[in-house]
Amino acid sequence: MGWIVALSVIGILIVMFIFARALVIWRRKRAGKEVKRPRKIKLKKKKEEKLLRNQNGKLDTKGSYCDVVDKYLYRKELKLFVLISKILPKGYIVFPKVGVDTILEPVGSHVLYDSIRDRYVDLVIFDLETMKPRLVIDIFDGSIGDEQLETEAPEVIEALKSAELPIVPIKVKTSYTPEELKEPIMAILEPKPDEEESEPENINS
pLDDT (tens digit per residue) in 22-32:
766 666 666 55
E strand or H helix at 39, and its extent? Answer: helix 33-52
pLDDT, one tens digit per residue, over 49-69 is: 555 555 555 555 555 566 676
Residue 195's pLDDT band, with cuts at 50, 70 and 90, is very low
* CA distance from start to end of the chain: 153
Position 188: which residue type?
I
Instruction: Please report, for the chain, how many H helices and E strands are present, in that order.
Output: 8, 4
Stronger pLDDT, 21 or 126, i.e. the higher one: 126
User: Could you tell me the pLDDT band of residue 203, with boundaries at 50, 70 and 90?
Assistant: very low
Q: Where are the domains of the chain?
A: 2-52, 75-189
Taking phi over 0 as left and psi of -120 to 50 as alpha, with beta for the rest, 130 belongs to: alpha
pLDDT at residue 30, as a whole number: 61
Cα separation, 20 vs 26, in Å, equals: 10
How far is 199 from 156, CA to CA, in rounded Å?
43
Least confident span in 42-46, 90-94, 95-99: 42-46
